[in-house]
A and B are shown apart, each in its own frame.
Chain A
């Protein structure tokens, strides 16, 4: 079974500071990893994904994530936080090698607050 663990249910950073949201995965097969963002009163939207092509993945709104197999991690970063980044972020894992049975398993989420 696959799972992801998001360390820290709440993270606060000052505007302009580095954003670091942590995600560790557990998978018996090479994982496909995703970050989704949920703005207030909205559904989730895809931020970025890792599907084994490149270990450093760039997403929308200046976010990026690095796949580190040795650490089983896929942390999300952004060099400089903006007020509009305030949202809840979800890490997710999928076994896409199991074609026809692809499902996402989500982490419990990290709420990011930006301090002016």
Chain B
């Protein structure tokens, strides 16, 4: 089983729908991150959390929210999805600064 698991792996939805992407980890790390990957833009940080009570905005948090339900779970929500949120989303964890362990990604398409 993967150390960092993302669900769903693929999702197609319509504009205006609420979407939740879930991430769970078995590595026991306190730090968790959500990144978005777009072709030609690399990865951009959406939100990050250094422990259960700590949530921080990244560089592109507008239109997104997160919940850290437990040390092992960190979910990303799009309250009202729009087409330019179509992207590949990655969850990552770490216990050593800079050394991230990534999930396999959740591909989201907003029509």
A12 and B92 CA atoms in complex are apart in Å by 29
Q: Check B99 against A49 for contact (C-beta < 8 Å).
A: yes
Size of the A side of the interface (Cβ < 8 Å), in residues, is 25
Q: A45 at interface (Cβ–Cβ under 8 A)?
A: yes
Q: B90 at interface (Cβ–Cβ under 8 A)?
A: yes
Q: B58 at interface (Cβ–Cβ under 8 A)?
A: yes
Q: Check A44 against B100 for contact (C-beta < 8 Å).
A: yes
Q: Which residues of B have CB within 8 Å of A44?
A: 43, 90, 92, 100, 102
Q: Which residues of B have CB within 8 Å of A9?
A: 40
Measured CB to CB, the closest approach of chain A to B80, in angstroms, equals 27
Q: Which residues of B have CB within 8 Å of A106?
A: 35, 42-44
Q: A113 at interface (Cβ–Cβ under 8 A)?
A: no
Q: Check A34 against B42 for contact (C-beta < 8 Å).
A: no
Q: Check A96 against B42 for contact (C-beta < 8 Å).
A: no
Nearest B residue (CB) for A111: B39
Q: Check B43 against A42 for contact (C-beta < 8 Å).
A: no
- Residue of B42, B48, B50, B90 near A109 (CB, 8 A) is B42
Known contacts A9-B40, A103-B58, A109-B42; A43 and B90 CB within 8 A of each other: yes
A108 and B105 CA atoms in complex are apart in Å by 17
Q: Check A90 against B43 for contact (C-beta < 8 Å).
A: yes
A108 and B58 CA atoms in complex are apart in Å by 17
A109 and B100 CA atoms in complex are apart in Å by 17
A49 and B102 CA atoms in complex are apart in Å by 16
B residues with a Cβ closer than 8 A to A are 4, 35, 40-45, 48, 50, 58, 90, 92, 97-105
A residues with a Cβ closer than 8 A to B are 9, 32, 34, 36, 41-46, 49, 51, 90, 92, 94, 96, 100, 102-109
Known: A9-B40, A108-B41, A108-B42; 16 extra A-B contacts, CB below 8 A, are A34-B98, A34-B99, A36-B100, A41-B105, A42-B104, A43-B90, A43-B104, A44-B90, A45-B101, A46-B99, A49-B98, A94-B97, A104-B45, A105-B45, A108-B40, A109-B42
